[in-house]
Every structure is written in structure tokens, then in C-alpha cells.
Structure 1
Amino acid sequence: MVNNSKLKKIAEELIGMSLSKFSSSQLKLKNHSKNNRLYYFIANDNKEYALKSYSKDKLHETKRLDVEFESLNYLFNYGKFNIPRPIARNNKENCGIYSWINGEKVNNICEKDVHQVVNFISNLFEVSRKKESYNLPNAKEACFSADVMVRQIFSRYNLLNKVSPFYNDLAEFLRDDFEPLLTPLVNITKKKYKYLNLNFNTEIPHEYKILSPSDFGFHNSIRNLNGELYFIDFEYFGWDDPAKLVGDFLLHPAIEDINFKLNEWKLFYKFIKKIFDFDNEFHSRLLLNLPLLSMRWSLILLNEFLPNNWERRVFSGEKKSRATVLKNQLKKARKYTRLVRWSINSDEKNFLSENYIDNFYLKSFN
């Protein structure tokens, strides 16, 4: 692990001048990442910067640094986005320097915030249509078909199942909460796809795809002094299905800590449908995949049961004991399996209605 004095020296070398202040950003902005450490510094040019130190392990190495730095650079060159500006990077030490965004974590959502998020997604879609974008990589765990999403769910399940003999509460969750839902959900989803004459296994055409931050939402935004939202964390950026981008935005666990009311949810959904109205299957694909995404999130929340993931969380500064964290994550995971159970038991005829999406919101926040 690189210590603070060495990181300060790296920062000075990268920007070519000495620093007047260098400290952990947690003192300045409570926007905690589970994968990285963030530092705030002021250089002798009186400008504010962020130094992001990425956790390093055999699975990720320097890729997250490269993806974030290059994607932000691309968006700066080809669009107008409220994002940090990439300044410099050191691949050997796995850290990057970005412009500092002064502001606060977003807690209460208003109509203006919804418009800003929708505009950001709309701008992403516009940039996605540029010919320069076509050779960019896929987002991490992109899902271009329901079949791919199901295979990802099984892959995550298998990883957790391997370590479940060492954790009785995890084994109980998988046996009693997760496994009884998986096969019925997949079968019902396939049935609904067939009913709508959609292909469960076929990848969506490229013209329907979008460049996605992949971990996009109010939880990864900062409200500056003028009320503008800036969006951060592009470590998993790349091509994805916009239905997955929107579904993850609506279902992200961090939304529990944000006052995102039903009226704002409905407004967001109304505008999003307009952006993608050229894709006749977008609306159906989103609603059909919400339960699958919920199952996926129930497993993502349990990443800390896996050794590498816990090490990254410790690297980022986690202070709670592992036992406490695992207990809390299991509680959150059960919320998603309850949501899936409700969707399986709901009236199949109403799964494309406005009431369905409203109820999905209401159930997901209870």
C-alpha cells in the first residue's frame, strides 16, 4: 500500500509543482468509495485537485484506472458533461489526478436534479452515436441480452456458493431466499419475452446500445454551489444496454440513502422513455429485466463475502468489522429477493402497465 507521503510526492511529480495542502478527501467530502482512496490537494498554482488511489489486486490491477481516465478524457473531447477533468496518471502506482469538484453529496432529489440526470443520459446517447465511439470497450459486465444477465447471475451465485460453507448466514440466504426464486423467475421471464415476441437470447443491435458509466446514479454525483450536478466514478465505463443503465439507476442500493420520491421517479421514467422511444423494445426490455436486475443486485451486495472484495473495502478505509458489514449486506440483499418474490406473484397481465413500475418503486423502498 502506498503511504500518504509517497502519494504526495507522486502528485507533485505528475503536475510538475509542489503542493500547499494534501489530505484525505473524507475530511472534505463524505462520498465514500468501496474500492479506492481519494485525496484532496492544493498545488502552488492555487488550483484544487483530487488524487484517486485505486485498490490493486490480481483481478483488477490497473484496468480501472485506465478505464476511468480514458473514458473521462473521451467525454471531455466529444461532449459537454459535468465530470471531473482527467489531469495525469501513474500506472505503476495505480493512481490518477483529476480536477476537484467542490460541493456536497446529493441527498434530496428535486425536479431540477431529474432534468440534469436525464440530460446527462441524453448527452451520453448523442456521444454514443459518434463514429469515434464504436471502438470503445464494453462496460464491465455489460448485458446485451437477458440470457447474458441470467448467466451473470449464475456466475455470481456459484462464486458465493463456493464460500457459503464457511458462512452459515450466507448459506441460509442462498438456500432459503435466493435459490427458490431463481428458476421460477428465469422461466417466467422467458415466458414474458416469448409473449411479447422478444428474443431472450439475442443481443440488441449496436444502434440501440449506449456508452454507460455502469455505476451511474445520484449516489455518484456531487452538487456544486450553483446546484449543478457533477457525476463521478467511471471505472466500469463502456457500451451497455440503456435498459440496464436505467434499471441499475432505479435499483441501486445506495438510493436508500437518497430522498428520491415517487413523483421524481415517475418524472425521470417519463423523460427516459422519450430519449429511447426510437427503440420499440426499450420499455418492455426494462420492465422485463427489473426482477433479473434485482436478483443480480442481491448477489452484488454480498461481494464482501469474497476475499478480494473485502480487501478492497478495507483499502478504501472501511472502519466497521467484517461481521457487521456482512450482516448489513445480507439484510439489504433480502430486500431485493422480497422484491423479486413480489414480482413473481404479481398479476402477469399488468407487468407492462404504469401501475407495475409504480409498484416496483414502492416495493423497492419498503
Structure 2
Amino acid sequence: MRRDSLYVGIGGTSRRVSLAGNLIKPDESGLTRTVAALADAEVLALEAVKGGGNNRVYGAALADGRRVAAKCYPSQKEDPRDRLGVEFGGLGFLADQGVGSALPCPLAADREAGVALYEWIEGEAVSATDPAARRPGDVDQALGLLAKLHELRLTPGAKELPPSSDPCFSGADLVAGIAGRRLRLGEVAEDNDSLRAFLSGKFDPALEEVTRRAAREYKAAGMDFDSAIPGRERTLSPSDFGFHNARRREDGSLVFLDFEYFGWDDPAKLTADILMHPGMVLGAEEEANFREGLADIYRDDKTCGARLSALWSLFGLRWCLILLNEFLPERWFRRVYADGGRDRETVQARQLDKSEAMLLRVEEGNDGI
């Protein structure tokens, strides 16, 4: 019988044990065996937890009284990114640096099975779309974590961390990333009249104009559109950060989840993503606090504000395309993997509406820096 390796990390240490099998899609019996081996305890109950759109998450009750979160990462040839390795390794690095309770503690992982165990967070989800449901200090907690991540960029070992999943270290990087997404969507748009009309009739003209304007603003500010920012101006970014990926512990403190795209990036991109993330609605005061707080965190980067201003609309156009991921077969598979079947046409129509709304926001210059 084949024996595959798994790694268990607790409190910054790791050990190596063995596990049979290669779990790609977690049937309950196979997942139970994997979790039991990782936790070194019998699994009494395994319950699916409503989570994000990319992975399956389960709450596992163990015979020794513990409860852990089991996260299952799908294996796809279309997406070679090591999301398990990035999240588990990144959270392990941050735990070793004393980041503390703002992040879940990584417990154990089986890379071959595509399963990792994390601390179970008792508490409740933070509202992503209702600012009134959040608390006055929530933005400060989020900023505190981002400030800590920025400080840790100077820590020994930080240089070994990977770039984020879609980094933008220059204006040219951003344009190239948008072009890649546009090309892939163009392939599937051949069979979808609504998508094709939006991309060719609305998105493409906007992209052409916004790219020219960004290049002009770079030149006016004395910056090189094609040159990557130096390492000292980069930050450690969660990449999908906000209240949509947060839970409130029973003591009121926040814990931020989903670090599978964690890595090095431009703080200007991180700032734009937080302020315009379509999955999160910020109140006016919250938005102002984020803007002020982020500017203070990255105050030593003298061109961050200029980059953010010049690239703001391009970041918005990038989000227009991200919102259309449900049109891509490989991305749709991931959504179905995470939360089961849904009406694909209905979801695609909704996402196209959101993308058009984001484009209108870009064209009208709403809330630009």
C-alpha cells in the first residue's frame, strides 16, 4: 500500500507521519480518515461549514474534546497555484512572528490529500455588507493587522515568502494581468452574446482610455510605468482582505481568514482592493478611516499615493474581470466544489450586472483617490 507524507505543525514545530491514499475530492469517509490522522484523534462528527467560493470547510469534533476547522483545497490542472502551501505556510510564518489571535492558528496539513487543519474560531461572521452591524473599532483591528504585516517585511525569513497570487509591482504588471484575464474571458465569450457584447462594446474602450491616462499620470509624477517598485516599498499582503473574510471571537476581537493568496505585493494594490472590493460595503466613516490608516502605514513609501491615484481606475477594471470568473469553466468548477450546484445562468447574469456596475463606477470616477 502506498504511504504518503504529511506534515503537522503546532507552535512553530513540525513532525512527519504517514497517511495512505490520495484524496482529491473529499468524500466524507476519506476526509474523516484524513482529519483523524492529522489530529491524531478520532473524529466524532464532521459538519460542512458555509465558507468561501473556492474551498470546502468542515468543523470537526474530536474525541479528545477539541474542535478544529478542516479546509479542503481542490486540485486543478487549470490552477497550479499552491493555495494550501501558501496559506498554511504563511500563517505558520506569521504565528512564529507573534501576530497572535488576529489570525487562525495552523495546526496540520496533508499536501497530498489537499487538506489542512486550522484553529476553530468560536464566534460569529462579521457582516460584509452592513456597516451598521459592525463595531466602531473593527477598522482599527484590521489596520492593526496590516501594520503588523508591513513591519514583518523586514523580518528574517520574510524574503523567502512568495509573491501574492496576482501581484502588481508596476503599472505594466497590472495591464498585463488585465490583458491575460481579458484574453481568457474572450475565449468563452464566443459562445455568450451578452458577455461578448459587454467586453467588446464597453470594457475594451474603457481599458484603452484608462491605460493611456494611467501612463500619462505616471510620467507626470516622474515614475516609470514599466519598472517594478523596489523591495523596500513592497508589503506582505493577505490579497483578499476585509470584513467578508472575518469572524468575531466571543471576546469581540476579529480574526481574519483565507490567506491562500498571501504574499508580497504593492501596498497601492492592497489599498485599492480593500476600498473597492465588491464583496464588502464600507460606511463613509469606515472608508475614511481605512484611507487615512493605510496612508499612515505606508507613509515611508513616497510614491504609494501617486501610484494609487494613477492606477485606481485600472484596479477597478481588473475587478470588472474578476467578477466575471463564473463564466470560466475552471472557476465555475471551483465554485461548485466549494458549495454545491447552483443555477449557472442566473449566477452569470448577476455577476455581469456587478461587472457593469463596477465599470460605471470607474467611468464616473466615483470614490477615486
- Say yes or no: TM over 0.5: yes
Q: Which residue of 1 aligns with 2:336?
A: 314
Equivalent position to 1:37, from 30, 52, 56: 56
Aligned ranges 1:247-286 → 2 under 5 Å? 247-256=272-281, 260-286=282-308
1:12 aligns with 2:36: yes
Q: Which residue of 2 aligns with 1:304?
A: 326
Q: Which residue of 1 aligns with 2:108?
A: 88
AA partner of residue 231 (structure 1): F
Question: Could you say what secondary structure the match of 2:72 adopts?
Answer: strand
Equivalent position to 2:358, from 336, 347, 365: 336
Q: Which residue of 1 aligns with 2:8?
A: none
Aligned ranges 1:210-249 → 2 under 5 Å? 210-249=235-274
Alpha-carbon contact 1:110-1:264 (below 8 Å) kept: no
Q: Which residue of 2 aligns with 1:360?
A: 368
The structure 1 segments of at least 4 consecutive aligned residues displaced by more than 2 Å after TM superposition are 59-62, 108-111
AA partner of residue 92 (structure 1): E
Q: Which residue of 1 aligns with 2:178?
A: 153
Query: In 1, Cα distance between the equivalents of 2:284 and 2:114?
Result: 41
Equivalent position to 2:154, from 129, 133, 140: 129
TM-score by length of 1: 0.89
Alpha-carbon contact 2:103-2:257 (below 8 Å) kept: yes
Question: Could you say what secondary structure the match of 1:87 adopts?
Answer: strand
Alpha-carbon contact 2:336-2:342 (below 8 Å) kept: no
Question: Could you say what secondary structure the match of 1:325 adopts?
Answer: helix
Query: In 1, Cα distance between the equivalents of 2:91 and 2:208?
Result: 39
Query: In 2, Cα distance between the equivalents of 1:47 and 1:115?
Result: 31
Alpha-carbon contact 2:81-2:165 (below 8 Å) kept: no
Q: Which residue of 2 aligns with 1:364?
A: none
Question: Could you say what secondary structure the match of 1:334 adopts?
Answer: helix
Question: Could you say what secondary structure the match of 1:230 adopts?
Answer: strand
Shift of 1:21: 2.2
Query: In 1, Cα distance between the equivalents of 2:351 and 2:81?
Result: 27
Query: In 2, Cα distance between the equivalents of 1:61 and 1:281?
Result: 33
Query: In 1, Cα distance between the equivalents of 2:57 and 2:291?
Result: 33
Alpha-carbon contact 1:56-1:62 (below 8 Å) kept: no
**Identity over aligned pairs, percent:** 34
Q: Which residue of 1 aligns with 2:212?
A: 187
Shift of 1:264: 1.3
1:97 aligns with 2:117: yes
Give deviations 1:58-98, integer Å, cap 9, x for gaps: 03357111111100100000132411111111122111111
Q: Which residue of 2 aligns with 1:23?
A: 47
AA partner of residue 63 (structure 1): D
Query: In 2, Cα distance between the equivalents of 1:60 and 1:330?
Result: 23
Question: Could you say what secondary structure the match of 2:280 adopts?
Answer: helix
Alpha-carbon contact 2:126-2:246 (below 8 Å) kept: yes
Query: In 2, Cα distance between the equivalents of 1:289 and 1:274?
Result: 19
Query: In 2, Cα distance between the equivalents of 1:232 and 1:155?
Result: 28
1:170 aligns with 2:190: no
Equivalent position to 2:78, from 36, 42, 59: 59
TM-score by length of 2: 0.89
AA partner of residue 199 (structure 1): D
Residues 62 and 203 (structure 1), Cα distance of their counterparts in 2 relative to 1, 3 Å cut: closer
Give deviations 1:300-347, integer Å, cap 9, x for gaps: 11111111111111101144211011001001101111122113xxxx
AA partner of residue 65 (structure 1): L
Query: In 1, Cα distance between the equivalents of 2:234 and 2:81?
Result: 26
1:290 aligns with 2:309: no
1:71 aligns with 2:93: no
Shift of 1:119: 0.4
Shift of 1:57: 0.8
Equivalent position to 1:327, from 330, 343, 349: 349
Question: Could you say what secondary structure the match of 2:103 adopts?
Answer: coil
In structure 2, list runs of 5 or more residues that go unmatched.
1-24, 128-132
1:109 aligns with 2:134: yes
1:46 aligns with 2:65: yes
Query: In 1, Cα distance between the equivalents of 2:84 and 2:99?
Result: 22
Query: In 1, Cα distance between the equivalents of 2:335 and 2:354?
Result: 17
Give deviations 1:150-203, integer Å, cap 9, x for gaps: 111111101111111111111011022201101111011111111111221111
Question: Which has a greater percent of strand?
Answer: 2
In structure 1, list runs of 5 or more residues that go unmatched.
27-31, 344-355, 362-366
Task: Tell me how large the CA RMSD over aligned residues is.
Answer: 1.5
